[in-house]
Structure 1
């Protein structure tokens, strides 16, 4: 089947990275350092990027990877580098510090006709709190997302905790336990599903315009309390029918902010292939062909599809 090698490579790499992340989260008080933008980054971020980039470089050596992390700060923090290498060695026993730095920097590629984009831990603050986070990997060709994998080690739907969501363009979205098991095909919630007719939104108040998001949700008849979680696990909630709407609208404090591609790519295809719809707040498709940040898109609207036009109309009237 088309993209089967890409899908299998991505599943294996994200699963391996999720195991590293959980080993760090469960076994350590997460050791965080600060990047130049002051957001926390952990041993797990670097280790997950190293493992995934190593796998992609071996399987698809011509494909650039546009990842979140680089080694600028890590090269100045020898104890953290040693800790990252020790974690990577659990999967790759022969890896050296130099190898690990090289693997991570393989993720410093540029947008191209075909490339991967990676967020090794989306929702680092959630990871540090012991809440939701996601390992998010996607393949883009000619501006269209072809494969997306979301590893959500702390996510629970039903009796399983630790879930993997996988989507291939034209083949639908499936969900399976990270620990292994049968895949389950996902479908977004029907608008008549009153139990799940709700908004899912970020735990972080600075992530979007929460006031406007609630007003728009109310305008389309959503009155239930919001589901709150970190990371692209919010996309998983929409794809799995646990919510019908996720809005990421620019904060009034940063009205010109443009979203990063790795914060959305895997989630977008997971929702779309489950029957949902994703655009910017003006109804335009997200542009994955141009740059690491969306140059021509403002905000992100994620829905079950059925309410999407009504949401866009509410935004125009806001």
Structure 2
């Protein structure tokens, strides 16, 4: 498999999708109603259309397991929405037609198998709406292992450099980031424990996405005393891989004890952290299963670390569970 070509096409497609998403964001009212998801819908579908088109044209035999499909868009009452999506796509691909856009979106209806892409065209819906963090997440899974992962984070600003980063990781070849508009690749490396100023903890903005009380208890048990940094989307994986945080926890919320994570919400980020020297598992230390289904049914929670503290974090979680 030609991983150089895979990366080249994937990078270009995420750059296109990020342009579309940022154009949509310019038109989101500042006080948008939470239940009004129309800008998100337009951006989600437009992003998926662009990425799926690029991947399918070059790699027609690799299925794409995407978050969206065009079923609802084909209904008569969705005419305005699909027209808006098509207009945004045409800003990138002027020859695009509505029928083609619908077809490109549905390229994401592939099935989990021996070799497939998994795609989240916009991860972090609420962050996207409030002009904060979101990610475009794409991963290639081959024979049960994530081989390639890309995270487009158009709104992410790290301590060094500009706003907007694209993270790229290939199994065994390291993790890198580049300005999302293009530029030099910068090698990623997780933080050392001695770097106290960056020995931080990231978690989701939304309390319902985890158990924030327990997460803070666990962070303190491994010596992290500062307040958590709350960030939407898989941008958290990018932050850990860049060495700007040592820990990201997503432990099961008491409100949703039976929730299982979607593979497209973690696959790309996981390899980005692992190839930067970190470690990713569920709360029991088990590897995340990206190969069996679209949901990680055999995993509970997600633990992401700089590697050095991983076993200590897992032990702290188990100790808490035994005592509660």
What is the distance in 2 between the residues matched to 1:28 and 1:313?
A: 44
Report the alpha carbon displacement of residue 33 of structure 1 after superposing the two structures with TM. 9.8
Q: Encode CA deviations 1:29-80: one digit per residue, 9 max, x unaligned.
A: 4999979xx9984211110000000011101101111111112332331111
Match of 1:180 among 154, 178, 182: 182
What is the distance in 1 between the residues matched to 2:259 and 2:312?
A: 24
Match of 1:309 among 308, 311, 316: 311
What's the counterpart of residue 154 of structure 2? 153
Q: Return closer, same or farther for 1:33/1:101 CA change in 2, 3 Å cut-off.
A: farther
How high is the TM-score relative to the length of structure 2? 0.94
Structure 1 runs of 4+ aligned residues shifted over 2 Å read 27-35, 38-42, 72-76
What's the counterpart of residue 227 of structure 1? 229
What is the distance in 1 between the residues matched to 2:169 and 2:240?
A: 14
Q: Return closer, same or farther for 1:56/1:195 CA change in 2, 3 Å cut-off.
A: same
Query: How many aligned residue pairs are there?
Result: 316
Q: Encode CA deviations 1:273-308: one digit per residue, 9 max, x unaligned.
A: 000000010001011110000021111100000000
Report the alpha carbon displacement of residue 206 of structure 1 after superposing the two structures with TM. 0.6
What's the counterpart of residue 73 of structure 1? 72
Q: Encode CA deviations 1:213-247: one digit per residue, 9 max, x unaligned.
A: 11111111111111111000000010001100001
Unaligned 5+ runs, structure 2: none
What's the counterpart of residue 140 of structure 2? 139
Aligned residues of 1:40 and 1:124 also touching (Cα < 8 A): no
Structure 1 residue 9 corresponds to structure 2 residue 12: no
SS in 2 for 1:118: strand
Aligned residues of 2:28 and 2:129 also touching (Cα < 8 A): no
Report the alpha carbon displacement of residue 28 of structure 1 after superposing the two structures with TM. 4.5
Q: Encode CA deviations 1:134-173: one digit per residue, 9 max, x unaligned.
A: 0000000001001111000000112310111100111101
What is the distance in 2 between the residues matched to 1:32 and 1:4?
A: 43
**Counterparts of residues 155-304 of structure 1 (less than 5 Å):** 155-157=156-158, 158-304=160-306
Aligned residues of 1:40 and 1:125 also touching (Cα < 8 A): no
What is the distance in 1 between the residues matched to 2:60 and 2:51?
A: 13
Q: Return closer, same or farther for 1:88/1:32 CA change in 2, 3 Å cut-off.
A: farther
Q: Which has the higher helix share?
A: 2
What is the distance in 2 between the residues matched to 1:33 and 1:257?
A: 22
Unaligned 5+ runs, structure 1: none
